[in-house]
Structure 1
Amino acid sequence: MNINLEEDDHSLEEVVITGYASSSGYRKASRSKPKRKKESYNLTVDSKQEGITTTRFVIKKKYTIKSNTDITTLEIDNFDMDATYSYYVAPELNENVFLTAKLGNWEQFDLLEGEANIYFEGSYAGKTNIDPHATTDSLMISLGTDPNIIVKRKPLKKFKRKSFYGNNRVVDLGYSIQLKNSKQNSIHLILEDRIPISQNKEIKVDNIKTNDANYDAKTGIMKWKLTIQPKTQLEKQFSYELKYPKNKRVNL
């Protein structure tokens, strides 16, 4: 199965998906008995007939399949699906920005289970796995990284200092995350980072400042849902204070 995605400069709301099957897969499908009458389907498929456990496609176009070791693919379906595009980055782990497409109402298209090729803006973007038996109401497809969105995570010098308070060492830490959108259109991006969570009573994390992030105190995860305009950049900051016994060593 090949999935072709094309970006719209005004709004990214449509995914074009083209399905393929091998010649052997078509012969296997053609042996299933139809349950419904023949009906007009599209320019590629003459009809689509569903059985109890199988789906039968009648291909309009005739193909010549040579007797050799090459793989012959036949287009058996071609349809459009609405999609919501979003970007994701967790710069503490990886400063690359990943693009994803969220497809809704995908169950009606009878997608085949297996590996799929992804094409975005006319270029090969990689592979993904489609699981039509999933119970989720949407299908997520990863489109790889986008080099046009730049993210840098740097420590803030004014917070990076150490001091002593009694028998404890106090470390103030702060970080700046800079994001730049070099694209011609605005983007929606989910940014995640984290505040350390102590599992030791002698080690405490205090004076947490997450600014406008959505912060989960149980997991330490901070999340920003951002809209970045074309050719603009913005910055997010956070800081915290770490206290621990001076005879202990903590990896920061």
Structure 2
Amino acid sequence: MEQYFVKKVIDQSKFVIDDLESYKHIVKVLRHKVGDTIYLVDSTQTLFVAKISEIDNDASNLTVVVDKDERTTTEMPLGVTIACSLSKKDKVEWITQKATELGAKKIIFFDSKYSIMHWKKNVVEKKLMRLQEIAKNAAQQSKRRLIPDVIYLDKLDKLIEEKEATNLVAYEESAKQGEISQLAQAIQEEPTSIMCTFGPEGGFAFDEVEFLNQNGFLSVGLGPRIMRAETAPMYFLSVLSYKYELTVK
């Protein structure tokens, strides 16, 4: 079944979906009828099974009868932030979509010395709206309980204001030197939240890594291979998923 996010708290057995975009997708695109069932996630991240009881095409809304679903949350047990230097438009959108599917709670894009793209102030709001919509659609498709926040920082040093309990910087020179233990050690400590920062296609400048290290970001390698800028965050999220979400029976 499809899942939709609603901005309100669902606290009664009947609920009216009056969001125009959701109404159009449910009624006009997927052509759901009275009696069909969908999932809803409200503003408290609670999942509900919702059966359509009425469709009002004049008012562009639909009424559903809801029942709380007690299944286990799909969210990671720790808050995960990935911070990526700006890449080309299609890569930024791809990172947003896939990071959402893999469980990131926050996605940060920032300018760095070797970034091949730089956003002008007059386009930032429009680009973030587009990325937030991509995150919403990916969260609905992957049955998340929340939509990740997507934010933009025009300077790398502003990352300090976004720090989590544990903070890492993926550094290709660490990988070249054979460093393979720091990431494993960091997640073995089971922090309540974690951030990992990733450089652009050309990598971080040495002084940028030095600045991050001086401000509590630990340099880590991501294995013996050098990855593309858009691949590294997905590797990191997959490692966390294996550590915290998969078990051996």
Q: Which has the higher contact order (CA 8 A, sep 6+)?
A: 2
Q: Whose helix proportion is higher, 1 or 2?
A: 2
Q: Whose strand proportion is higher, 1 or 2?
A: 1
Fold shared by both chains (TM-score > 0.5): no
| TM-score of the two chains, using structure 2 as the length reference | 0.30
Q: Which protein shows a greater Rg?
A: 1
| TM-score of the two chains, using structure 1 as the length reference | 0.29
